[in-house]
Chain A
Amino acid sequence: GAVVSQHPSRVICKSGTSVKIECRSLDFQATTMFWYRQFPKQSLMLMATSNEGSKATYEQGVEKDKFLINHASLTLSTLTVTSAHPEDSSFYICSAREVAGRETQYFGPGTRLLVL
């Protein structure tokens, strides 16, 4: 299957700082990328959907000013958690969908964020 990478794989930061997570589709072009969040022992929750070159669409209850998403190219999307707090500690997972073909959605390995 297609490969999606994320960087960093884990990050620890102090409360009040901002953290940027990168998501790249390595061997395909993705018109649409998705960001999910997963708390311990829970399922994945969709945070937002972004299409290349346009503003992201956020799910209900997700603050767009806190979780900044930039989808600047067909292979790169970034999620910035601004002014992070301990309750933002979670497992963040990005996903990318192919432009052509069967439009299967592939997932990155995830980024573990711990806010102290």
Chain B
Amino acid sequence: DAKTTQPPSMDCAEGRAANLPCNHSTISGNEYVYWYRQIHSQGPQYIIHGLKNNETNEMASLIITEDRKSSTLILPHATLRDTAVYYCIVRAPTGANSKLTFGKGITLSVRP
């Protein structure tokens, strides 16, 4: 699976949008971009994923560049409970060997 690069940390003010960047310049044409987050001492929580079109759900929006070499996760109105480590992962589609490999992620701190 292709690797991703994320800044180590960022912060934002409560109520503002949090834009989390991710670079995946070596992504293959059939690999999806997944975002998970991990709040301290809990298992990772699925947020969203996409292939090439922008995606939106109740938690966040995912913007993928046209060349698919980078993406941005947007939390539209960050709250204190959104403080967590956010992981951007690229993963091959179906298949027994398709697995999620976690990097270091980006630590988002939401301040009051």
Contact = CB atoms under 8 A, between A and B. Distances in A.
B99 A49 contact: yes
Chain B contact patch, size range: 20 to 34
A34 B44 contact: no
Interface in A41-57: 43-46, 49, 51
B49 A51 contact: no
A110 B42 contact: yes
A98 to B, nearest CB: 11
B96 A95 contact: no
Nearest to B96: A51
A104 B49 contact: yes
B94 A109 contact: no
A107 B96 contact: no
A93 B46 contact: no
Interface string A28-68: 00001010100000011110010100000000000000000
Nearest to B89: A105
Main secondary structure of the interface of B (DSSP, over half): loop
Nearest to B103: A43
Contacts of B97: 49
A43 B102 contact: yes
B43 A34 contact: no
A37 to B, nearest CB: 11
B104 interface: yes
A44 B104 CA distance: 9
Interface in A87-116: 91, 93, 95, 102-110, 112
Contact of A108 (B34, B41, B43, B102): B43
Given A1-B46, A110-B41, A110-B43, A105 B105 contact: no
Given A46-B101, A49-B97, A107-B46, 5 more contacts: A34-B100, A44-B102, A103-B94, A107-B36, A109-B43
6 contacts: A43-B87, A51-B96, A93-B44, A102-B49, A106-B46, A107-B36
Interface of A: 1, 4, 6, 32, 34, 36, 43-46, 49, 51, 91, 93, 95, 102-110, 112
